[in-house]
Amino acid sequence: MRQLKTKMLLAATMLAVPATLGAARPQPIEPVPVPAQIEQGVSMIYVDPELRPTDKAIEMLGMSRVETPEQQAAQPMDLFVPMNPMVTQLRRGLIKYHQQWGRLPAVFIPAGPVMKKGSTDPRVAQLRYRLGLAPGNGFDATVDKKVRDFQRVHGLKVDGLVAGKTLNALSLPPRDYELRLAANIERAKRLPDPERFPKYVMIDAGDSELSMVDRGKTVGKMKVIVGTKETPTPMMAAMIRYVNLNPYWNVPPDLVQTIMAKHVLEEGPGYLTYRHYEIMADWSENAPLLDPAKVDWQAVADRRLLVRMRRGPSPGNSMGDMKFMLPNDFGIYLHDYPEKAKFADSNLWISNGCVRLSQAKQLAKFLFGYVPTPKTGKPEERVDLPTPIPVYMTYFTAVPSATDGVTFRGDPYDRDQKVLASYYNAQVPIGTF
pLDDT digits (tens, 9 = 90+) for 300-346: 999 999 999 999 888 888 999 999 999 999 999 999 999 999 999 99
Q: Which residue has the higher pLDDT, 394 or 39?
A: 394
pLDDT of 428: 61
**Using the 8-state DSSP alphabet, how is residue 102 labeled?**
I
Instruction: Using the predicted structure, report yes or no on whether residue 86 has a pLDDT greater than 60.
Output: yes
Distance of alpha carbon 349 from alpha carbon 310, whole angstroms: 23
pLDDT digits (tens, 9 = 90+) for 200-228: 999 999 999 999 999 889 999 999 999 99
Distance of alpha carbon 245 from alpha carbon 124, whole angstroms: 61
Instruction: Using the predicted structure, report yes or no on whether residue 59 has a pLDDT greater than 90.
Output: no
> Are the C-beta atoms of 425 and 4 separated by less than 8 Å?
yes
The full set of domains in the chain, from first to last, is 107-172 (1.10.101.10), 249-311 (no CATH)
pLDDT of 18: 41
Q: Taking Cα atoms as reference points, which of 177, 159, 202 lies closest to residue 94?
A: 177
> Are the C-beta atoms of 202 and 399 separated by less than 8 Å?
no
Least confident residue range of 313-322, 385-394, 402-411, 417-426 = 417-426
- List CB contacts of 195: < 8 A, sequence separation 6 or more: 82
pLDDT of 153: 97
Instruction: Using the predicted structure, report yes or no on whether residue 14 has a pLDDT greater than 50.
Output: no
Instruction: Using the predicted structure, report yes or no on whether residue 267 has a pLDDT greater than 70.
Output: yes
Average pLDDT over residues 132-141: 95
Average pLDDT over residues 288-298: 94
Least confident residue range of 5-14, 162-171, 317-326, 397-406 = 5-14
Instruction: Using the predicted structure, report yes or no on whether residue 275 has a pLDDT greater than 90.
Output: no
> Are the C-beta atoms of 146 and 157 separated by less than 8 Å?
no
Distance of alpha carbon 410 from alpha carbon 403, whole angstroms: 19
Distance of alpha carbon 217 from alpha carbon 392, whole angstroms: 15
Instruction: Using the predicted structure, report yes or no on whether residue 239 has a pLDDT greater than 60.
Output: yes
* 431: confidence class by pLDDT, cuts 50, 70, 90: low
Instruction: Using the predicted structure, report yes or no on whether residue 421 has a pLDDT greater than 80.
Output: yes
Instruction: Using the predicted structure, report yes or no on whether residue 430 has a pLDDT greater than 70.
Output: no
> Are the C-beta atoms of 302 and 311 separated by less than 8 Å?
no
**How many other C-beta atoms are found inside a 10 Å radius of the C-beta of residue 138?**
14
Give percent of the chain with pLDDT exceeding 90: 70
How, if at all, do strands 349-351 and 217-227 pair? parallel
Give one DSSP letter per residue of 25-67, joined into a string: S---SS--PPPTTS--SS--EESSGGGSPPHHHHHHTTTTS--
Average pLDDT over residues 347-362: 96
pLDDT of 248: 92
Average pLDDT over residues 380-400: 97
Q: Which residue has the higher pLDDT, 365 or 22?
A: 365
User: Which strand (E) or helix (H) includes residue 324?
Assistant: strand 322-325
pLDDT of 26: 61
Instruction: Using the predicted structure, report yes or no on whether residue 78 has a pLDDT greater than 80.
Output: no
Average pLDDT over residues 53-73: 82
Instruction: Using the predicted structure, report yes or no on whether residue 1 has a pLDDT greater than 50.
Output: no
Mean pLDDT, all residues of the chain: 88
pLDDT digits (tens, 9 = 90+) for 23-55: 445 677 778 778 776 778 998 999 999 999 988
pLDDT of 79: 60
